[in-house]
Structure 1
């Protein structure tokens, strides 16, 4: 009985601990959808995320201002380059990539809004415990609101707000820890002769 009471107290103490800012796993893959407040943009994308090498790759399809688009882009922040890849005709355009790599993480200065259960807490496996945080985008570019799982710090959703575009909503799903084929984070062979454009791009501009 005493052992049961001790375990109950220990469990209660663990659950009562205040959530802390966290970092998502350094290697991830999955999918997300993105929509903007002005309803000009909707996109669905598969993604690869490598925080160790500071690389990302997106396969997007969506609509922007009622026009459909498909895009395959590889971002290498250490190289400062973005590759716009068209596999169908084996062409590639290289562009200067500005800005620093921003890992999937809850910044240390973020403010905890709430810890809630998505779904139901009535039975095992019916809900997901998540934490919602808010704070400022880098360089005070706007505000963000992000939700991650309590265990693993897996991204669930992110809202960010800028003066130019209003609120943008990103919903993550089918996340997997790890990358099945890391070679996809390297430019294809036909990108070795890629034409380099002079106009730089930044990460957020990819979704507008």
Structure 2
């Protein structure tokens, strides 16, 4: 049987708040998306170059400052499109204020080119966007079924969940998103979290102290 080659996937912490940035590349077309480029744009360029990937799309799990700090530079150099869920536009419009609050230098970022929607296919043709509100109203997760890979942003962490005390956060919503959307995925799936180490869906269903499956 013909086996489709695995996606190229690399995750590394970037920026002042050490947000996990993930590169996803199609091994055949060499097209790539970057998820949550929270800083260190030169390092991101270097890795794309070393992996022989062409960046076509910059996607965001949500619009908190630590997940976007390199987006403007990446777009300027590559022309890749910027994507975000519409319900986080109010946060995107206030990125400068967020940076001031956290004492982080602000680099202007253009408006998103396209709004992400639930169940939308991603640019690499290898994954789908899932609307998982709660941490923010427009929080998204990205699911790559063939590779059993979930990029959860700040919705789900290893033995933790995203905080809901920032702008637009809602505990009831994040609980629903995790139970109904994320815990229904393959239990063997690897979860790339917004900060800190990877985990697995099954481990969180059994051991997450905040939301058990």
> The TM-score by the shorter chain falls in which range?
under 0.3
Q: Which has the larger radius of gyration?
A: 1
Q: What TM-score, normalized by structure 2, do the two folds share?
A: 0.25
Select the structure that is richer in strand.
1
* Bigger relative contact order (CA 8 A; separation at least 6): 1
